[in-house]
A = this chain, B = another copy of it.
């Protein structure tokens, strides 16, 4: 059986694994002070077009969100996020665990509109008792969003402009960033993101690493004594090399982007298959995840040959399911999927 369950069902991309093996015997300092971390940071800075950016490696996505948000917010502040944002719904209260509120706003296709943000902030400051309410201090966006959708450059610029107007920091969760950057339907580059956001992360776990996310502080704004704050949150890896070596490999010979492009190519072919088989798309996603509407009766049969993730149940007779492509998805996998749908 082939798996389209997610983009993190297989291990590491072979080039990542090879680099881990190749450097395995070198004695290196711990806690991120090794030359591979340094090299990886340098390559990420170059890719972002920001020679002055500060980069820090963490282990997973929820951890990264909690560490970044809680160290960048002031005591009296919370973070604005879409109701469907990962921090709003799927992190078991990890942000609240740090003592900060997630201020949920309406979304459209998983995205926050600049106007929504602007209206929220205007209303907040118009409220005479707003000192009794959590101050909005940051905006959290995910790109791609939880629905596989993408912000346009104009949209992200719009959000960044509102953030500047109200003195909020803008944070972009790039757990699946490469699939957004390599989408065929995007005008937003890594350099744009680095320019517009105060902080963002480049996801490794869902893009060919065993684990690891690279946080990029773009404006000389890495919190003071960040290593100590990371340690305090139990998020400092003793063998920092595990993260440094992997990101060094991902940013060598454009591997990170090749992984993204491959998965997007596979997802587009998947989309062609769905169309050819008359299966309606739930969302016309421009990234590596495809959401389709299946008749309940066919679910089990398909599942025998191609694993997927159940997303939601729009009515009694249908189910929305997600098929994700990743670095290890092959043409052969697609052929199995096509055959499974045919039956």
Which chain B residue lies CB-closest to A89? B133
Residue A252 lies at the interface, judged by CB distance under 8 Å to chain B: no
Do A92 and B133 form a contact, CB below 8 Å, given A11-B239, A62-B236, A232-B97? yes
Interface residue A210 (Cβ < 8 Å from any Cβ of B)? yes
Residues on the B chain within 8 Å of A76, using CB:
92-93, 224-225, 228-229, 232
CB contacts (< 8 Å) of A134 on chain B: these are 92-93, 96, 228, 232
One digit per residue, 1 when the CB lies within 8 angstroms of any chain B CB and 0 when it does not, for chain A 22-43 equals 0111111111000000000000
Report the separation of the CA atoms of residues A229 and B133 in the bound assembly, to the nearest whole angstrom: 10
B8 with A62: CB separation less than 8 A? no
Interface residues on A, range: 35 or more
Q: Closest approach, in angstroms, between the C-beta of A242 and any C-beta of chain B?
A: 5
Q: Contact partner of A228 among B3, B12, B71, B131, CB < 8 A?
A: B131
A104 at the interface (CB under 8 A from B): yes
Q: Closest B-chain residue to A9, C-beta based? A: B27
Give min CB distance, A98 to chain B, whole Å.
Answer: 8
- Minimum Cβ distance to chain B for residue A93 (Å): 4
Q: A211 at interface (Cβ–Cβ under 8 A)?
A: yes
> Restricting to A226-242, which residues have a CB under 8 Å from any CB of B?
227-229, 231-239, 241-242
Give the CA-CA distance A28 to B90 in the complex, in Å. Answer: 21
B residues in contact with A31, CB < 8 Å: 132
Q: Are B29 and A10 in contact (CB under 8 A)?
A: no
Asked if A21 and B24 sit within 8 Å, CB to CB, the answer is no
Q: Which residues of B contact A60 (CB under 8 A)?
A: 234, 236-238
Q: Is B233 a contact partner of A234 (Cβ separation < 8 A)?
A: yes
CA distance A235 to B28 in the complex (A): 25
| A131 and B225 form a contact (CB under 8 A) | yes
* Chain B residues within an 8 Å CB radius of A20: 11-12, 17, 210
- In the bound complex, CA of A23 to CA of B223 (Å): 39
A12-B70 Cα distance, complex, nearest whole Å = 32
Cβ-defined contact, A206 with B238, below 8 A? yes
Contact with B along A52-90 (1 / 0, CB 8 A): 000000011111111100110011101000000000011
- Cross-chain contact B21 with A227 (CB below 8 angstroms): no
A61 to B310, CA, bound (A): 35
A231 in complex: contacting residue of B94, B205, B232, B328, CB < 8 Å: B94
- Does A118 touch B at the CB level, under 8 Å? no
Q: Across the interface, name the chain B residue whose C-beta is closest to A175.
A: B238
Q: Determine which of B8, B27, B227 lies in contact with A131 in the assembled complex, contact meaning CB atoms within 8 Å.
A: B227
- Chain B residue at minimal CB-CB distance from A223: B75
- Chain B residues with CB below 8 A from A89, complex form: 133
Cβ A210 vs Cβ B100 within 8 A: no
Assuming A9-B27, A21-B21, is B211 touching A238 (CB within 8 A)? yes
Q: Which 6 A-B pairs have the closest CB atoms?
A: A63-B234, A3-B27, A11-B24, A93-B101, A92-B231, A9-B27
Interface residues of A (CB under 8 A from B): 2-3, 5-6, 8-12, 14, 17, 20-21, 23-31, 59-67, 70-71, 74-76, 78, 89-94, 96-102, 104, 126, 128-129, 131-135, 205-206, 210-211, 223-225, 227-229, 231-239, 241-242, 307, 310, 313, 328
Q: Told that A94-B234, A97-B232, A234-B234 touch, could you supply 5 new A-B pairs with CB distance under 8 A?
A: A17-B21, A74-B224, A76-B93, A90-B133, A92-B131
